């Protein structure tokens, strides 16, 4: 056979892993470049003069000198390609431009808020994982009623819009019972409702996938093998099927974090939390283009990094993925 049989299979596998990692990084860089390019050209589609927008919109009646000054300052008098390259160059140094509305560097503005939003999203992700894993473990393989209840809860949870869930939670726990503040006050108590709001629908999605994967694993012959070695039902769950149920939770985490960051727009607005989402919404309403592009690029970057991380951790958790890539 002419199959290239390697003298050192492990070395070759390591080589492939490195190649795979290289491809991942190259892919991430490409996606970020494409996102930046797409955003840059998309905002050129905005009707009207950007210099006008910087000076407070069409109603501001800025003088011609002021407009010319702004065009020079922001490089708007340059050809498009020069502006584009300048934008890429600035991005590489972490410069996201200056806010039209607030006249402060966008990078500083967002840097101050990234932490809060990431904390919110990560806490929600962890809570969603716990809820989803708990629900799927509880409802799978325990008879019809448990399955039906589990399916119903997942379906409902996944159908809950953030803005409505937030409102209902506020109505119950703030206005009704008075247990928790209706606005995020920067305290731990103030984080509870926003985190729950973001986590519950996500848990619905994750639980659906986890339960299918768990059900699938429970029907595999290796469960019978494990039982035949004297493993108890609990032991089979702990040592075998839970891992299989957790796999989709890991591989979906990249998507989930992006989904949470997008959900933060709604949740931060409702709970009056400072953060990327609320900043984005304000910027969209004010058409503060540098801030909008800045937030979009930042969220894309977080999403892309998380996707790479997810891919790597999936391959660590599931050796079958490594096998596939080797084939």
Binding residues for other proteins restricted to 159-198, rule: CB under 8 A: 159-164, 167-168, 170-171, 174-175, 182
Cα torsion through 223, 227, 232, 238, rounded to 10: -30
Segment interacting with other proteins (CB under 8 A) among 41-49, 74-82, 94-102, 189-197 = 41-49
Rounded to an integer, what distance in angstroms lies between the CA atom of residue 31 and that of residue 48? 29
Rounded to an integer, what distance in angstroms lies between the CA atom of residue 226 and that of residue 205? 30
# residues near other proteins by CB under 8 A = 94
Rounded to an integer, what distance in angstroms lies between the CA atom of residue 128 and that of residue 208? 12
114 binds other proteins (CB under 8 A): no
DSSP state of 275: S
43 binds other proteins (CB under 8 A): yes
Stretch 80-109 residues interacting with other proteins (CB under 8 A): none
Segment interacting with other proteins (CB under 8 A) among 53-61, 65-73, 95-103, 251-259 = 251-259
Rounded to an integer, what distance in angstroms lies between the CA atom of residue 110 and that of residue 114? 6
For other proteins, the closer of residues 66 and 180 by Cβ is: 180
For other proteins, the closer of residues 72 and 272 by Cβ is: 272
DSSP state of 171: I
Tokens encoding 15: 């080589």
Q: Which residues contact 80 (CB under 8 A, 6 or more apart)?
A: 44
Stretch 287-316 residues interacting with other proteins (CB under 8 A): 287, 289, 292, 296, 299-300, 303-304
263 binds other proteins (CB under 8 A): yes
Q: Min. distance of Cβ 309 from other proteins in angstroms? A: 14
In 44-105, where does DSSP find H-type helix?
50-54, 64-73, 80-92
One of 53, 252, 271, 275 touching other proteins (CB under 8 A) = 252
Cα torsion through 313, 315, 320, 322, rounded to 10: -170
One of 64, 144, 177, 188 touching other proteins (CB under 8 A) = 144
Between the CA of residue 276 and those of 64, 84, 181, what are the distances in Å? Answer: 35, 25, 21
One of 46, 130, 238, 272 touching other proteins (CB under 8 A) = 46
Q: Min. distance of Cβ 75 from other proteins in angstroms? A: 20
Rounded to an integer, what distance in angstroms lies between the CA atom of residue 5 and that of residue 92? 43
For other proteins, the closer of residues 63 and 119 by Cβ is: 119
Q: Min. distance of Cβ 130 from other proteins in angstroms? A: 19
Rounded to an integer, what distance in angstroms lies between the CA atom of residue 235 and that of residue 218? 13
Rounded to an integer, what distance in angstroms lies between the CA atom of residue 241 and that of residue 219? 10
Which residues are paired to 98 by β-bridges?
105
Stretch 187-246 residues interacting with other proteins (CB under 8 A): 205, 208-209, 212, 215-216, 220-222, 224-233, 235, 239-240, 243-244
3-state secondary structure of 105: strand
Q: Min. distance of Cβ 139 from other proteins in angstroms? A: 13
One of 261, 268, 271, 311 touching other proteins (CB under 8 A) = 261
Rounded to an integer, what distance in angstroms lies between the CA atom of residue 292 and that of residue 96? 10
Q: Min. distance of Cβ 81 from other proteins in angstroms? A: 20
Please check whether residue 264 is in contact with residue 117, taking contact to mean a CB–CB distance below 8 angstroms.
yes
One of 17, 21, 24, 27 touching other proteins (CB under 8 A) = 27
């Amino acid at each position: 056979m002419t199959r290239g049989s390697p003298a050192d299979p492990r070395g070759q596998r390591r080589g492939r892993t490195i190649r795979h990692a290289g491809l991942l990084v190259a892919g991430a860089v490409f996606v970020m470049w494409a996102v930046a390019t797409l955003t840059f050209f998309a905002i050129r589609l905005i009707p009207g003069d950007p210099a006008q927008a910087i000076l407070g919109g069409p109603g501001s009646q800025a003088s011609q000198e002021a407009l010319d000054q702004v065009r020079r300052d922001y490089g708007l008098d340059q050809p498009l390609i020069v502006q584009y390259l300048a934008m890429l160059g600035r991005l590489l140094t972490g410069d996201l431009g200056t806010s039209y509305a607030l006249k402060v560097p966008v990078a500083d503005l967002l840097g101050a808020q990234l932490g809060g939003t990431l904390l919110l999203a990560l806490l929600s992700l962890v809570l969603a994982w716990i809820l989803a894993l708990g629900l799927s473990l509880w409802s799978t393989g325990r008879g019809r009623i448990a399955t039906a209840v589990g399916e119903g809860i997942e379906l409902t949870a996944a159908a809950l819009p953030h803005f409505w869930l937030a409102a209902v939670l506020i109505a119950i726990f703030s206005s009704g019972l008075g247990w928790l503040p209706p606005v995020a006050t920067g305290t731990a108590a103030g984080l509870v409702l926003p985190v729950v709001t973001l986590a519950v629908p996500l848990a619905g999605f994750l639980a659906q996938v986890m339960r299918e994967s768990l059900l699938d694993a429970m029907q595999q012959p290796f469960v019978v093998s494990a039982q035949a070695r004297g493993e108890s039902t609990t032991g089979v769950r702990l040592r075998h099927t839970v891992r299989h149920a957790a796999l989709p939770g890991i591989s979906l985490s990249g998507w989930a974090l992006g989904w949470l960051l997008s959900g933060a727009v709604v949740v931060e607005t409702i709970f009056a939390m400072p953060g990327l989402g609320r900043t984005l919404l304000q910027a969209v309403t004010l058409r503060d283009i540098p801030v909008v592009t800045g937030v979009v690029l930042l969220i894309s970057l977080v999403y892309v990094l998380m996707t790479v991380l997810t891919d790597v951790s999936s391959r660590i958790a599931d050796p079958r993925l490594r096998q596939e890539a080797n084939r």
